[in-house]
Amino acid sequence: MLARQDAGAKAPDLVAVVGRWSEPTIDGERVVRVEPSDGQAQAPAAIDAAATRLFKQTDRTFTANAAAPGAFSLAVLSNVPQFSGGTYSARFKLVSGASDQTAGLVFNLRPNGEYTYVRFNTKDGNVALWRYANGAREVIAHGTEHKPLPLGAWHQLAVTVTGTKVSGRVVGTTLTVEHDLKSPVSGRIGFWTKRDSETLFKDIAVAPAKP
């Protein structure tokens, strides 16, 4: 069983970087919710404030990445200052999306605004590993299994990092992706979606790698 952070037992303290994030109570539970925000530019001042809160500094590249036209919805857990190995997981519910329905777990978020993430989407029906940098994303690896997941139901997404090896999966299914990165992971963690998606997250858990 994962060792749950304090924030896993209640709604986490989120730092919203891009997109419309909130922590409402739904069906008696506090959850993380992101709503569609297509066409809404992120204010540089708000991005700078988020960067300062997360990294104690403002980096022009962080602001440029978050304000880029290709930026995605991004929120960061403030109570996990660094994740360099172990397992990070959360349950997610796909609610809606104009072109796609998505849920992703961000890790390796750096002060320059670059990050890596594992995501599931309904368009491809798979788990994939992506990197976001220089205002755009690039795919690192696609999982080979394809399976639809129903909207409006809870599923669990997990990412495990061991050294440079990363594996992502929808727990309880054959939807997986694995890859060996070029360098070790060290950065903040959070949530990712496309800008037109409405997604819920809950039951966030972080189990650091054993020494």
Sorted by where each begins, the domain ranges of the chain are 6-208
Is the distance from CB of 96 to CB of 151 less than 8 angstroms?
yes
pLDDT of res. 174? 97
Tokens 């994303």, residue located: 137
Bridge partners (DSSP) listed for residue 133:
136
Instruction: Give pLDDT, residue 210.
Output: 78
Model pLDDT, residue 12: 60
3-state secondary structure of 135: coil
Residue 13: per-residue pLDDT: 84
| Two structure tokens written together for 126 | 């798979």
**Nearest 10 degrees: CA dihedral of 163, 79, 115, 175?**
70
**Residues in CB range of 116: below 8 A, 6 or more apart:** 106, 107, 108, 129, 130, 131, 132, 140, 166, 181, 185
What pLDDT score does 10 carry?
44
Residue type at 95 in one-letter notation: V
Kindly report the pTM of this predicted structure.
Answer: 0.93
Look up the CATH superfamily of 6-208. Exo-inulinase; domain 1 (2.60.120.560)
Task: Find the helix packing angle between 60-67 and 44-55, rounded to 10°.
Answer: 130
Tens-of-pLDDT digits for all 211 residues of the chain?
223 333 333 446 899 999 999 999 999 999 999 999 977 778 899 999 999 999 999 899 999 999 999 999 999 999 999 999 999 999 999 999 998 999 999 999 999 999 999 999 999 999 999 999 999 999 999 999 999 999 999 999 999 999 999 999 999 999 999 999 999 999 999 999 999 999 999 999 999 987 7
Listed residue (141, 133, 139, 117) closest to 70, CA to CA: 133
The predicted structure's pLDDT at residue 137: 97
